[in-house]
Amino acid sequence: MLLQQFVNGLSLGAVYAVFAVGFTLVFGVLNVLNLSQGAVFMWGAYVGLEVMRTLHLPLAAAMAVALLAAGLLGVLSEWIVFRPLQRRGAHRWMGMVGSLALARILIGAAQEVFGTQVVRYPDGAVIGAAVDLWGVRVQGLQVVALAVALVLVLALGALLRLTNFGRVIRTVAFSETVARLVGAPVGRVRVATFFVSGALAGGAGVLWSLLFQSVSPFMGETVLLKGLTVLILGGLGNVAGALAGGLLLGLVEVGSVVAVGAGYRDAVGFGLVLLILLTRPTGLFSSREAKRA
Amino acid sequence: MIDLYYAYENVIDLCLLNAVLAFACLLLLGVNLLSLATGGLMALGAYLSIWLTMQKGWSFGPALLAATLLGSLAAAGLGALVLRLRGDYFAMATLAFTEVVRILTLNWDSVTGGALGVFGIPKLTETWQLAALLLLVVYLVWAIRNSAIGDRMRAVAEDELAVTASGHDVARLKRALFTASGAIAGLGGALAAHLNMFVAPGDFGFLRSMDAVLAPVLGGVWNLFGAAIGAAILTLLPELLRFSAQWREILIGAVTLLAVLFLPTGVASLPRRLLRGAHPGRIA
């Protein structure tokens, strides 16, 4: 029973982690909070769904198209919100307000295009298989979600740590001025960061709608709030922290359903955030935030 | 004129109420605090006042007073815990407070009616009360801005460290401002609850808090009427765009985005800018 909840919590946490890693990446590199991520998550879920339903492509292809489309939406937020604001040297609140406005546009557009009813992925998309491991029922879908999450996050880690482009991204994260001085293509790095972050949000959207079998224009708001929770748990801008924080949040939420009932599930994450901020004002796994402040 | 008032009474009330809440956030924005606690504090005031008027037989005045007190006490307590957090961490901690309150109200059925909400709340809030409150709040903000406290607030917004280093108690200033804004939010919540005859936990969540902050940012933080103009725009726009729910969202988003992009010092700066013919990009 306990092990079963552990598996459920882990697969839920994996989806949170994918979303939060994209969220925290933009924060870490560019020091802005992109509140349109929840809407990008929702669009990723819809694009994946439409690709499967109308083009009858397999799940992997739908996932790829959703990643691409959501990545482009991420780039859109850079082009029409963050780049103009940064050029002007606007206050960071403006970025939050502007990206929230963009989220509103995207949610309205989704209602117009896809309707407001809750829809679900076609039956063929759901991996029905399940295995019993030491008395624990593990659904194929949960394994896929966890595996995809790990692959996406590890690929990002490899990009950041091992490639030349990753070094450039980390230079921009250290200081945009320094990056410009050493001749790094800051504009391209920004666009790439927003693309990767949007793609991760879209990927999380597909995984989420497979796990919970529901897609609606309003699905982004809850996840945005969860993403903010994980952002704090892991420390703002900390990619590894976001992975750990996401898994932790998934486990704690599932655990709380068992312990105190489903009604308080969404409060537990935020209660945890309050507790952690009171004891560690820059998050659970933070190290560099102290330097920045 | 009278006909006009009756036709649009509800919209006018909402405009006034949202303007009051916007000023509560404006006080905090003045010292670089972006608070998302508005929704949670409003919920406390709203549910306390409903409980008092509907179940305890209190009259409206004392219930409002109790809601104001609860709002300020809750803000003082929350402030003592979270005001030392910086920047985005403060915003997130206040958001966490709002969400925790929302979920507690969702689950405390006997007082809050759970997810279904409370029906049949007596409509006790009058337009003149909201208007008087708005005038009072505007006067307070004006008086604070033109006092020594206002100078200190501007200095904190510029460079908090320098103000602390020169021996001013910045923490106390922030606590006082946060408590004051909590009192306004608690009172605003009580007035909001007795305006619509119906209240549900979803009324006081993330979006409510965000709208309250959005209004002054949209209208202009350093203009006294910026917050009121921002609140009026955010309240009227949805009413004007009633013809289609989807296009309403798209257009509100678009208008907000355009204002953020092209009016860096807020909508309130528009008339002056038009008169001067200044280039939008110059004032940053």
Contacts of A42 (CB under 8 A, 6+ apart): A106, A107, A110, A205, A215, A216, A217, A218, A219, A220
Mind giving me the DSSP string for A3-27? HHHHHHHHHHHHHHHHHHHHHHHHH
Q: Which residue bears the tokens 């969220």?
A: A23
Mean pLDDT over the full length of chain A: 85
Does this model's pTM top 0.90? My answer is: no
Judging contacts by C-beta atoms under 8 Å, the chain B residues touching residue A100 are 210, 214, 256
* pLDDT higher than threshold 50 for residue A289: no
Tell which wins on pLDDT, A45 or A128: A45
pLDDT at residue number A290: 41
Tell which wins on pLDDT, A176 or B245: A176
Q: What is the ipTM of this complex?
A: 0.80
Q: For chain B, which residues score pLDDT lower than 70?
A: 1-2, 4, 271-284
* The one-letter amino acid at A132: D
CB B42 within 8 A of CB B188: yes
Least confident of A13-22, A273-282, B56-65, B174-183: A273-282
The alpha carbon of residue B206 is apart from the nearest alpha carbon of chain A, in Å, by: 9
Tell which wins on pLDDT, B147 or A292: B147
**At A39, is the secondary structure helix, strand, or coil?**
helix
Q: How many CB atoms lie within 10 A of CB B142?
A: 12
pLDDT at residue number B281: 41
- A vs B, Cβ pairs < 8 A, gives 130
CB B130 within 8 A of CB B191: yes
CB-based contact (8 Å) between B238 and chain A?
A: no
Best residue in A231, A277, A279, A286 to probe B by mutation, most B CBs within 10 Å?
A: A277
Identify the H or E element spanning A138: strand A136-139
CA gap B107, A28 in Å, rounded = 36
* pLDDT higher than threshold 50 for residue A192: yes
Binary contact (A94, B245; C-beta < 8 A): no
Best residue in A274, A278, A286, A289 to probe B by mutation, most B CBs within 10 Å?
A: A274
Nearest CA in chain A to B283: A88
Angle formed by the axes of helices A92-114 and A219-234, nearest 10°: 150
Report phi then psi at B198, rounded to 5: -150, 135
Nearest CA in chain B to A102: B253
Q: Identify the CA nearest to A115 among candidates B22, B47, B246, B127.
A: B246
List pLDDT tens digits, range B160-211. Answer: 888 888 888 888 999 999 999 999 999 999 999 998 888 888 888 888 898 8
CA gap B154, B175 in Å, rounded = 16
Binary contact (A274, B96; C-beta < 8 A): yes
pLDDT at residue number A291: 39
Nearest CA in chain A to B114: A263
Residue B89, token pair as written in the block? 């961490």
Where do runs of H (alpha helix) occur along chain A? 2-30, 37-55, 59-77, 83-88, 92-114, 140-162, 164-174, 176-181, 186-212, 219-234, 239-260, 265-279, 289-292
List pLDDT tens digits, range A46-61. Answer: 999 999 888 888 888 9
* pLDDT higher than threshold 80 for residue A125: no
Least confident of A12-21, A137-146, A166-175, B32-41: A137-146
* pLDDT higher than threshold 70 for residue A241: yes
pLDDT at residue number B280: 44
Scanning B39-98 for CB atoms below 8 A from A yields 81-82, 84-86, 88-89, 92-93, 95-97
